[in-house]
Every structure is written in C-alpha cells, then in structure tokens.
C-alpha cells in the first residue's frame, strides 16, 4: 500500500511540474514577442512557479526599471489559463 501511495504522489507531482514547465516555456516565448528588445537583452525570465514570475536582470538599475514597468508587464502576460499574482 505504501508503494502505491508513493507512486501516485510522484505522478501527481510530475504532472504539476510538467504543467508549470509548459507555462514557463509559453511565458518565455511571450516575453520575447511582447517586451521590447532592450529590455529582453537586460532582463531574462528565470523561473515560473505558483503563478509567480522570476526575472533576472543584468544590474540593479534594470531591476528598478522593471519595477516601474511591473503593471505594464502584468497586462501583457494576462490570459485566460493563468494570471500572474497582483
């Protein structure tokens, strides 16, 4: 019985991770299409888990710039299947 529960839990976790990874790939392609080139050169999407997008920037000034652009970025990435945290 223990082995069955363990395998079921693994399957559930695998499916959730796979869905999040697919969402991550979609967001990454959307990032390259919807955000301007200067921003994409200086900021990249690193992770997407639990509806939270993690972006890495080249320097702190770009972090500030993205902070100012936060609402615009959220509007660009909203769609029916998932929405980013407000």
- pLDDT one-digit tens code per residue, 6-45: 777 666 666 667 777 788 888 888 888 888 889 889 999 8
In the numeric block, the tokens 């888990």 are attached to 49
Q: Give me the number of domains the chain comprises.
A: 1
84, part of any domain: no
Q: What percent of the chain has pLDDT over 90?
A: 17
Owning domain of residue 16: 2-77
Total-model pTM: 0.65
Strands in 1-86 per DSSP E: 43-49, 52-57
Residue 82 in any domain: the answer is: no
Position 80 scores a pLDDT of 42
What are the residues whose beta carbons fall under 8 Å from the beta carbon of 68, sequence distance 6 or more? none
pLDDT (average), residues 43-70: 89
Q: Using CA atoms, how far apart are residues 65 and 57, in angstroms rounded to an integer? A: 10
Whether residue 9 is contained in a domain is answered as yes
């Amino acid at each position: 019985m223990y082995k069955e529960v363990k395998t079921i839990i693994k399957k559930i976790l695998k499916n959730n991770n796979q869905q999040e990874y697919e969402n991550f790939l979609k967001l990454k392609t959307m990032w390259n299409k919807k955000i301007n080139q200067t921003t994409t050169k200086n900021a990249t999407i690193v992770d997407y888990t639990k509806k939270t997008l993690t972006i890495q920037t080249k320097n702190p000034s770009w972090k500030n710039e993205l902070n100012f652009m936060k609402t615009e970025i959220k509007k660009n990435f909203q769609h029916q299947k998932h929405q980013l945290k407000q």
